[in-house]
Amino acid sequence: TSPLEGAHLQIVGTAFTTFTDARGEYVIRFDPKLLQRCRTQYVQVSAPGHRPELLILVIGRKIRSDDVLMRRR
């Protein structure tokens, strides 16, 4: 599989969103107060022509998430 540019990611239940770059990489900037409730967040990943996927993100310093396999509709 190849990286998917322009996929939309949003922390579920918040307004914090971002898009993947040409390498399929992303950075989500968010309010650190969100971590007071839970260090694990759910991220909805969507892209045109693909089924949405849910990513479980454990937040910390320089944490990298697993790859998300996007399936075509």
The pLDDT tens digits of the residues spanning 54-63 come to 988 776 665 5
Tokens describing residue 73: 């509709």
| Segment holding 34, helix H or strand E | helix 34-37
Task: Give the percent of the chain with pLDDT over 70.
Answer: 79
Pick from 60, 54, 66: nearest CA to 25 = 66
Contact call for residues 50 and 6 (beta carbons, < 8 A): no
First to last CA, the chain: 16
For residue 44, list its beta bridge partners.
10, 54
**pLDDT (average), residues 8-31:** 91
Greater pLDDT, 55 or 70:
55
Q: What is the pTM of this model?
A: 0.77
